Amino acid sequence: MKERAESKENRLYVSVLTGGWRFTVPAEIRKVHGWGEGLNLFASVSDDNSLLIGDVSPESGEGVGCYLGSGGKMVVPRELRQTLSWKKGQRLAISSANGITCVTPCCPQKACRSCGSVKGVTEVIPGLYLCSECFRTYLARLKA
């Protein structure tokens, strides 16, 4: 049984960062750590811009408290959002090893150069990405 728990701990899961700065910690990871709803955890940012989550404060003492809600929902702490520079709608890779859960961006999405949105983004010219709203605004200015 322990072998099976260890193999689940080393798997990679994908979640999406919602508009409320939430993502879901997979049930398998919560089970391995024994994390339940209403638990206060600690989060910190690593050198490679990943979010590290554990049930004890990191040795550096730089951890920020975060709450594990129903269904494994966790809000990225306000104090860490700017440091992480993640975008809403960003896909996140979640893995766990040695008692620490690591959340990092995966499957890079192209963001609108003008407003930063990741919805409806198209490459207008090579290397320039705009969302449909900003592209319409650009076309309207060209016609004027």
**pLDDT tens, residue by residue, 36-69:** 999 999 999 988 889 999 887 666 566 899 999 9
pLDDT score at 3: 46
Which residues in the chain show pLDDT less than 50?
Answer: 1-6
Half-sphere exposure of 135 (CA within 13 A, CB side): 15
Examine the domain organization and report whether 36 and 23 are in the same domain.
yes
pLDDT score at 111: 83
Spell out where the chain has E strands: 12-16, 22-24, 39-45, 51-54, 64-68, 73-75, 91-97, 100-105, 121-125, 128-131
Examine the domain organization and report whether 136 and 75 are in the same domain.
no
Dihedral sign for Cα atoms in the order 17, 22, 25, 26: negative
pLDDT score at 59: 63
pLDDT score at 47: 84
Residue 108 per-residue DSSP state: P
Examine the domain organization and report whether 58 and 95 are in the same domain.
yes
The secondary structure of the chain in percent helix, strand, coil, rounded to multiples of 5, reads 25, 35, 40
pLDDT score at 5: 45
> Residue 101 belongs to a domain with what CATH number?
3.40.1550.20
SS3 (DSSP) at 45: strand
Examine the domain organization and report whether 83 and 24 are in the same domain.
yes
Half-sphere exposure of 19 (CA within 13 A, CB side): 2
pLDDT score at 93: 94
Examine the domain organization and report whether 100 and 114 are in the same domain.
no
Domains of the chain: total? 2
pLDDT score at 1: 43
Instruction: Locate 9 and state its tokens.
Output: 């701990």
Separation of first and last alpha carbons in the chain: 69
Structural domain that includes position 75: 2-105
